[in-house]
Structure 1
Amino acid sequence: MTIFKLCMLTGLALISSMGAAAQAVTPVQTMLGDAPSVPKNIVIMIGDGMGPAYTSAYRYYKDNPDTQEIEQTVFDRLLVGTSSTYPARVSGYVTDSAASATALATGVKSYNGAISVDINKQPVPTIMEKAKLLGLATGVAVTSQINHATPAAFLSHNESRKNYDELALSYLGTDTDVMLGGGQRYFPANLIEKFEAKGYQYLADFNQLNTVTKGKVIGLFADVQLPWAIDDQGSHKLSIMTAKALELLSQNDQGFVLLVEGSLIDWAGHNNDIATAMGEMEEFANAIEVVEQYIRKNNDTLMVVTADHNTGGLSIGANGEYKWDTSIIRGVQASPDVIAKDALIDGDWLTRVTLNLGFEPNEDEQSQLTLARMQGKEVMTTAIKQLIDSRSNTGWTTVGHTGVDVQVFATGPAASLFAGYQDNTDIANKLMSLLPKVKSQPNK
C-alpha cells in the first residue's frame, strides 16, 4: 500500500513513498511471498444469495460482545470489489441462480433459468470445459444437489435449470474429476453404474470421503440438500469436501479449476430464516479459510469469492428501531424447521422450544406459538422464524431475489484483476483469461 507521511514542517503537504513497492498488496497476498503472476490453479467460491447484508450480518454475528472492537471476518479481510448481477435484458434486472451462474461460468448473459445456453438456447463454453480441454482437472463441491443451478451451469448445458434428470445424465460426458454434494434422488443406481464404469468411485456415506486418496469421485451425501449447518454442528461438511477436492485435484500436474458453493445460504434466505442463514454463512466462511490456508502453502493458486445474487432483502435492523440483537440469533440451537417438528411431539413442547430458541417466550409469544402449533408444522415453523426476527429485530423484504450488486473477494496470483466494480460476466472473462493458452505436456 502506498504510504503517505505528513510533513509538519511544511504545513499539510503529503509526501508519498513511491517506487516498485507502491503497488497495492493485501495482507494475505503479502504472506504469499514471490507468487507467480498467473495462477496454476483457480478456486471459484460462490455464496449463493450472499448479498452485502449477509457478510455484514455475519461480522456482527461473530463479534465478541466483551470487547470494544468489532472483529474482522474473512470477508472483510479479502474484500476487493463489487459485481453487478443482472441477467439478459429479456429477464429484466433481477437474476436467478441459473442466469447468474451462466454469466459467471461463461461470460455470457442469458435468461433466468438458462444453464450455460445463450438467449437462443445455444450452448456456450464454460470455464470448466475450457480447463478440461487444456488438461486441467475440474471439480465441484456444493451443499445443494450437485445438479442444482450453479454447479450445473459450470458443468453442463440445458434450456432449463428444472431439468434435473437430464442434467444428472449429462454429467457422464463432462469428465469432471470431483463432484461432491447432495442429489441421490437424481442419480439412480443404473446411472451410478455408468459413472463407475467410467472409473468413478461412488460414495453415498460422508464418512467414506476420507478413504478416497486419488482418482475420480462422485459423492452424493443426501437425497437433495445436505443438512442445515445449524442442525449438523461440528460436521463442517462443506469445509471437508473443499479440503478433499483440493487434495484430489492438486494431483494433476497441469493445475485445476474448482467450484465451491455455499448453496444453502440462498435457501435460508428464501425461507427468511436468519438463524439458519448465519449457520450457513459460518460454514461457507470456514470453507473459504480452508482454501486460504491451501493458498498459503501453494502460492500458485487464485481464489475468487463472490455471490450470484442477493436473496431475501435481509435487513440488519427493522421496524424503525436502531438495533440488531445478535445474542438472540447466536442462542438458537436448531433450525426453525427442526424446532417446529420437535414442538409437534407430545409432552412439554414449550420447554423444548425454549431450550432450542435459547430464550423464554413471553406470554403473548407463548400464545402465538400455541395457536401456530395447532395449525401444523409449516405454520409453526413460520411462527418460530417470526419470533426470532422480532426478538433480534431482523427484517426481510421478499422471499425471492433482489437486484443489488454483490461483493467480490480474492487472494492469490492476479487477485488485483478483480478490484473495483465489474459485471459478473467480467469475472468469468478474467478467470478464463488466466487459463493456460495451450495444453501443457504432462511431466514424465
Structure 2
Amino acid sequence: MKLFLAATLSVMAFTGFAAEQPKNIIMVVGDGMGPAYTTAYRYFADDRASAEIDWTVFDRHLKGMASTYPARVSGYVTDSAAGATALSSATKSYNGAIAVDVEKAPTPTVLEWAKQRGMKTGVAVTSQVNHATPASYAAHNEYRRNYDEIADSYFDDRVGEAFVLDVILGGGWEYFIREDRNLVEEFKAAGYQYVDDMAALSTLTPGKPVLGLFADTGMPWALDTPTKQRLPALTKAAVKQLENDNGFFLLVEGSQVDWAGHANDVASAMAEMHDLAMTLEYLESYVKQNPDTLVVVTADHSTGGFTIAANKDYRWEPDWLKNLKMSVESLAKALVKSDTPVAFIEENLGFALNEQEKATVNALQEADEKTWFKTVSHILDVRSNTGWTTSGHTAVDVQVFAMGKGSEVFKGHMDNTDISRHIFKMLGKTE
C-alpha cells in the first residue's frame, strides 16, 4: 500500500516561521513508558548513600500529562501504531494504523512537514526502523505489520523530490535485505552511507545521508550489549549527521521499554529506562549548547500494568536488578543447555539464591526457554517486590517532558494529539 503525500503537503497552508520556532526539533518516545516506569527508574538510579532521593533527567523536565486513547472504533486502549499516529499527525486513528485516518487516508506528519520546510529528518530507534513508531512518522500504511511495504516506502515515497528520511538508524536487516528486493543496495546507489556495525558510526562522513541497520529485527537488549547502552550512540550519530543551517527533525525511540513491559521483565525494563535516560542526559547537554533546539519526550501508552510494590507489601527493592550480566531472555536461552542451573543463575543475576529459589530451579528438568524465562523473572519480581497486571497495554495517561526552545507550551494536561499540534504550529502550519 503506497501512499504519497507530496501533493497533499504542497496544497496545505504554510505561514512563515514563528518567532519561537526552534531550529531543531527532537521528538523522543519511550514506547510503553507509563508513569510507573519513570518513577521506578528514579528509585533504581538512586544513590542509597545519600539521605535524599535523587532526581533523574525525567524529573528535571516534567511538564505535564497526556491522554492516549485512540479513535472511538478502537475503544480506550491504544496500540503503538495509533498512539504514534496521534503523536506524529494530530490524528486519532484505529489500532494498527500507520499515519492514516480511520478511512485509511494518509495524514501528513510533523516529520514530513519539517522535510517540506527544508529541514533534514531522521529516526534513531532500538526496534526495527520500520516498526510502529518510526513508521508512523515517516510512512503511511493501513496496517503496522506490513513491514516490507513500510520499508519499501522509505525508498519509494518522497516529500517533493526528496527522500522522507536523511538518517535511518536501528534494526531491520530482515526487511531491507530480502529475496525480492535489496533496499540496502538501492539506498547505497542513491548516495546513502551504509553501516551495519555500531562501531562504524564514528566513521561516517558528517552531513551525508545514512542507513544504519544493526540487527535482523529489533536490536539486542541493553543488558546484552557491552556498555548496557545503545540508544545514546544512535542519537549522537543521528544528530551529527543531521546538523545543518536549516535545522532538523529527529525521532528517537526507546522502543524496548515496551517489549520489557509485554514480557513482564522488570530487569530489562530498568535497563531500557537507563538507556533512554542516558540519551536524555546527552540531549540535555546538547540543548544547553544549542538553545535553539526543542526536545519533547513522552510515551505512546503504558505497558504491563507495572506496579512498584506488590501483594500488600509496602516495599520495592531495585538493588536486586542492578548486577545482571545478561538479559533474562538470554539467560533463559542459555539455561536450556546448562548442567548447573543454580550456579549459572547466581553468576548472571549477581546474587546467591535462597533455599526456596534453589529448590524451584532444581525441580525443573529439561525445561524449555519459556519456562526458564518465567522462573527467573519470578525470582526477580519476588526479590524486588514488583507486580504486573497484564502482558498488554493499559489506558493510563502518560507524562510529557520537554526542554529547550518552546518547551513551555507543553505544560499541563493535554491530549496526545496536542503534542503534534504544537509542533505543527512551530513548523508554520496553519489549521
TM superposition shift of 1:378: 1.1
**Residue in structure 1 matched with residue 237 of structure 2 by the alignment:** 244
Aligned to 1:140: 123
1:329 and 2:321 aligned: yes
Aligned equivalent of 1:300:
292
Q: Is the 8 A contact 1:38 1:414 kept in 2?
A: yes
In the alignment, which of 101, 105, 112 is matched to residue 122 of structure 1?
A: 105
Match status 1:421 vs 2:406: no
Shift of 1:217: 0.3
Q: Is the 8 A contact 2:127 2:171 kept in 1?
A: yes
After superposition, the C-alpha distances for 1:293-335 in whole angstroms (9 at most, x for unaligned) are 1111111000000001000000000011000011111233321
Matches within 5 A, 1:279-298: 279-298=271-290
Task: State the partner residue of 1:77.
Answer: 60
Gaps of 5+ in 2: 1-18
- The 5 Å alignment of 1:294-373 reads 294-372=286-364
Aligned counterpart, 1:409: 401
Among 357, 366, 374, the alignment partner of 1:374 is 366
Give 1:373 shift: 5.2
Deviation string 1:328-364 (CA, Å, 9 cap, x unpaired) is 1123332111222222234433112111122222222
Structure 2 residue aligned with 1:394: 386
Aligned with 1:186: secondary structure?
Answer: helix
Out of 165, 168, 171, the residue aligned to residue 179 of structure 1 is: 168
Partner-residue secondary structure (3-state), 2:25: strand
| Contact 1:373–1:379 under 8 Å retained in 2 | no
Q: Which structure 2 residues correspond to residues 18-167 of structure 1 after superposition, within 5 A?
A: 37-167=20-150
Three-state SS of the structure 1 residue aligned to 2:375 is helix
Structure 1 match to 2:220: 227
Deviates more, 1:231-240 or 1:180-189: 231-240
User: Displacement, 1:436?
Assistant: 4.3
Contact 1:141-1:260 within 8 A present in 2 as well = yes
Deviant stretches of 4+, over 6 Å: none
Call closer, same or farther: CA 1:314–1:437 in 2, change over 3 Å: closer
2:270 is matched with 278
Deviations 1:180-211 (A, max 9, x none): 00011000162212111221111112211111
1:346–1:411 Cα change, 3 Å: closer
1:125 deviation in Å? 0.5
Alpha-carbon shift at residue 437 of structure 1 (Å): 6.0
Distance 2:365 2:174 in 1: 31
| Alpha-carbon distance in structure 2 between the residues aligned to 1:141 and 1:78 | 21
Q: Deviations over 1:127-153 (max 9, x none)?
A: 111111110100000000000000000
Query: SS of 2:123's equivalent?
Result: strand
Structure number with bigger Rg: 1
Please give the root-mean-square deviation of Cα atoms over the aligned residues, in Å. 1.4
**DSSP-derived class of the 1:331 partner:** coil
- CA distance in 1 between counterparts of 2:203 and 2:338 reads 42
CA displacement at 1:421 relative to structure 2: 0.2
Q: What does the per-residue CA deviation read over 1:229-252, in whole Å, with 9 as the maximum and x for residues that have no partner?
A: 1121416321011011111111x2
Does the 8 Å contact 2:172/2:216 carry over to 1? Answer: yes
Q: 1:237 is aligned with what amino acid?
A: R
How many pairs are equivalent?
A: 402
Give the structure-1-normalised TM-score.
0.88
Are the structure 2 counterparts of residues 66 and 163 from structure 1 closer, same or farther at C-alpha, using a change threshold of 3 Å? same
Structure 1 residues 346 and 395: CA distance shift in structure 2, 3 A: closer
- Range 424-433 or range 345-354, more displaced: 345-354
Q: Secondary structure at the match of 1:159?
A: coil
* Residue identity matched to 2:173: Q
Decide whether the 8 Å contact of 2:299 with 2:398 is kept in 1: yes
Contact 1:343 1:373 in 2 (8 A): no
Cα distance in 2, alignment partners of residues 433 and 276 from structure 1: 37
Deviation at 1:55? Answer: 0.2
Indicate whether 1:210 and 2:202 are aligned: yes
Deviations 1:249-281 (A, max 9, x none): 11x211110000000000000000000110000
Partner Cα distance (2:395, 2:338) in 1: 44
Say whether the 8 Å CA contact 1:325–1:393 is kept in structure 2: yes
Q: Please say if residues 20 and 426 of structure 2, whose CA atoms lie closer than 8 Å, have aligned partners that are also in contact.
A: no
Contact 2:224 2:327 survives alignment (8 Å)? yes
Query: Counterparts of 2:241 and 2:125 in 1: how far apart (Å)?
Result: 16
More moved, 86-95 vs 60-69: 60-69
**Structure 1: runs of 5+ lacking an equivalent:** 1-35, 439-444
Matches of 2:379 and 2:229, distance apart in 1? 28
Equivalent position to 2:247, from 232, 244, 255: 255
Determine what percentage of the aligned residue pairs are the same residue. Answer: 51
- In structure 1, the residue matched to 2:14 is none
Alpha-carbon contact 1:344-1:373 (below 8 Å) kept: no
Report the CA distance shift for 1:202/1:371 in structure 2 as closer, same or farther (over 3 A): same
Any conservation in 2 of the 1:44–1:260 contact (CA below 8 Å)? yes
1:372/1:383 contact within 8 Å kept: no
d(CA) in 2 for partners of 1:213, 1:197: 16
